[in-house]
Structure 1
Amino acid sequence: MHTVLEAIATANPPYCLTQSQAAAFMLKSEGLSGSIKNRIPALYANSGIDYRYTCLPDYGGELASFELYPPNWALTPTPSTFERNQKYNFYAPKLSCQAAQQAIAEAKLQPEHITHLIVVSCTGFAAPGVDFYLIKHLGLSPTIARTMLGFMGCHAAFNGLRIADAICQSDANAKVLLVCVELCTLHFQVANSLENTIINAIFADGAAAAILMAQTEAQGKLVYQGGDSQWIVDTPDLMNWTVGNTGFLMNLSAQIPHVLAAHLPNYVESMLNRHQLQLSDLDFWAVHPGGRRIVDKIQAVFELSDRQVADSYGVLRDYGNMSSPTILFILKRILKGILNSDADGNSPLGSLANPSNSSSHRGLAIAFGPGLSIESCLFSILN
């Protein structure tokens, strides 16, 4: 039996910002020094991001529209963690429901047919929370089995996929709804540091949902084939995510791309060996765009073609880094591209397609999170 992603759906909040609009908001802030403001135009322009979405009207720059921040450009008093979490509890359930409803419809299921619900999020807390909202507003069974994965960061969708696969492989009748939702822009900090300026430049809001089922036939479907995890020992200072008085506070070191580049070759080789595969067997890559430099570094280390990382760059360009939902955005884009190309009778990867692997397309998805930790999984798409 294959664990199949029967459907993938995505959703974003209504406020779409160009990267230049986001930069203009930060430049108006009175809490930043001149030296930091001088860096903002180039940092935002070189981020690889054109558009980002947010649940807040504030970043449009009209003081009269501010919903979280006080209506002054000092942005003081600074919104508390409680105030930010209230916004999360209002917006996250609705955005989650939008993605989940679409995924259920695309899978041609009725809500009461869903047997398991997995919710992934690290940008807010509540109990009862997003899971209960989904049960009520989607019409899921009140006896549905629930799992909540919290505070694991950008790679948490992989942890959700691993749980969903275990459920599907142990219960052939299981129908698992996986929902990832993050409202990163609730936690932007006006802190006078280059590191914080970079964080504000790349993160965004979004949600994604997937339906996973066990099936004997999986033609044209994304098939989950196993995951792998590794903690890079003694690197907690490179990326961490803590609860502060003014929101959740992130530390994101500029050394991350270099540390990943040093560890990833052995990590990927070891994982592929366990599945009797080589790098040349991979037709597509879904690289979580923690930032443009991370994708740049991985492309260089593994000598990937522009085509193999185009979907990662494309999602970064159109949505920014949405944390945990981002990899599902990329997988949806990859699947659509491959299926459309196959329908046209063309190889989805041009001259790079593996002739000996014409019956399926294999790919590696990979992401990184606090710790510093690596999560990855293998997928196939059967023709």
Structure 2
Amino acid sequence: MTTGPAAREDTGKRTPALPHITAVGTALPPVSYTQRELLDLFRITDPRIRSVFTNSAIDRRYLDLPPAEPGCPPPAETQGELRNRHLSTGLDIGADAMRACLKQAGAQLSDVRYVCAVTSTGLLTPGFSALLIGELGLSDRCSRIDVVGMGCNAGLNALSAVTGWASGHPGELALMVCIEVCSAAYVIDGGMPNAVVNSLFGDGAAAVAVVAGPGAGNSPAVLDYASSTIPGTADAMRFAWDDRLGKLSFLLAPDVPYVVGAHVEETVDRLFSAHRLRRADIAHWVVHSGGKKVIDSLRVNLGLTRHELRHTTGVLREHGNLSSGSFLFSYQRLLDEGTPRPGDHGVLMTMGPGAAIETALLRW
């Protein structure tokens, strides 16, 4: 019997319908850059910073950079200009991801009853949920929620809310869309801390469709969630205002991979405990592409093979860290591969500011 929030008994009388992930869609800006192209574009010659870029296990990233004069690096942008780019690019790729998701689901825009929009690369009021309802012409009676500022783990925090809504509204279509324009959160100052961040993150959006009920049974059911917020690590990943530059700057502590790795076993084992599962019972691992060191730390601490994390490393190599939507790009690669079989169990895993680890248990 499942005991997670997606399947607990309601006042002891009935069990809500299990939510299923019925489709996924992704979208990217039109232009991508190799790491060396970015170094040359921004005229970065410091050998230490060039080494950070070229040893990142990232080949290229899709970025929406501001237009530049021929032979010149992209111009510096104010915080207001960055915010406007987050809005315009985010709406474009967010809408494209939702359309792609609905096409895979065989659904129409008019079928959507709930929208959850996730972002951490800009602050908007109203948020992307309301803006996308207007942009796509969704029903003005569509319920919505925005999850803002939770970082790379936010996709699973939001999925918990979406599956909860779906369980209470069997047969109704809910959409979650993660929209991250990480290039609108870059700070170019020649320093190593910002260089590490600038070497890692890419732009992209990903959407999933969720429906609860037996009619969605050909897609994986979301059985349970488990979370961990690691004590004493609130400052490990955070935005801070830089008075010198007049911009928000993202700070990433160098020991994050090892802190996350040290706490991941307990979180995963807690996810499995109510279902009498072991790590060996999991056929599919869909993990956030947080960076080479993060992935290696998780692999070692969980005893996973490189093959089991092939989609995670593939997304990192081809797109970089896409923040909240990274794990959905890996999930799409898993579906495209066609390996899940009925009865298979899978784990979705993200990690980010808090510092926190989020997990979800799937069953096909």
Please indicate, yes or no, whether the TM-score normalized by the shorter chain is above 0.5: yes
2:53 is the alignment partner of 1:53? no
1:374 matched to which residue of 2?
357
Q: Deviations over 1:280-300 (max 9, x none)?
A: 111111121211111011111
Residue 47 of structure 1: SS of its match in structure 2?
coil
Letter in 2 for 1:221: S
Letter in 2 for 1:375: E
Identity in percent: 28
> Does the CA contact (< 8 Å) of 2:282 and 2:344 recur in 1?
yes
> Does the CA contact (< 8 Å) of 1:57 and 1:66 recur in 2?
no
Q: Deviations over 1:125-161 (max 9, x none)?
A: 2223422332123221011111011011001110111
Distance 1:327 1:314 in 2: 11
2:48 matched to which residue of 1?
39
Distance 1:139 1:170 in 2: 25
Write the mapping of 1:262-281 to structure 2, written as runs, cut at 5 A.
262-281=262-281
Q: Provide the aligned C-alpha RMSD in A.
A: 2.0
Shift of 1:9: 0.2
- Distance verdict in 2 for CA 1:242–1:225, change over 3 Å: farther
2:38 matched to which residue of 1?
22
Distance 1:231 1:371 in 2: 6
2:120 matched to which residue of 1?
122
2:23 matched to which residue of 1?
7
Report which stretch shifted further, 124-133 or 315-324: 124-133
Pick the aligned partner of 1:361 from 344, 352, 363.
Answer: 344
Distance 1:242 1:379 in 2: 36
Letter in 2 for 1:360: G
Shift of 1:316: 0.5
Residue 170 of structure 2: SS of its match in structure 1?
coil
Distance 2:19 2:71 in 1: 46
> Does the CA contact (< 8 Å) of 1:15 and 1:57 recur in 2?
no
- Distance verdict in 2 for CA 1:268–1:332, change over 3 Å: same
2:315 is the alignment partner of 1:315? yes
1:156 matched to which residue of 2?
154
2:166 matched to which residue of 1?
168
Report which stretch shifted further, 95-104 or 239-248: 239-248
Pick the aligned partner of 1:83 from 81, 84, 91.
Answer: 81
- Unaligned segments of structure 2, at least 5 residues: 1-16
2:103 matched to which residue of 1?
105
2:11 matched to which residue of 1?
none
Pick the aligned partner of 1:63 from 34, 53, 69.
Answer: 69
Distance 1:240 1:188 in 2: 13
Distance 1:222 1:242 in 2: 39
> Does the CA contact (< 8 Å) of 1:241 and 1:370 recur in 2?
no
- Unaligned segments of structure 1, at least 5 residues: 71-77, 342-347, 349-357
Distance 1:65 1:175 in 2: 49
1:73 matched to which residue of 2?
none
Residues matched between the structures, number: 346
Letter in 2 for 1:25: L
Distance 1:43 1:125 in 2: 29
Shift of 1:267: 2.0
Distance 1:182 1:65 in 2: 28
Letter in 2 for 1:23: L
1:196 matched to which residue of 2?
194
1:137 matched to which residue of 2?
135
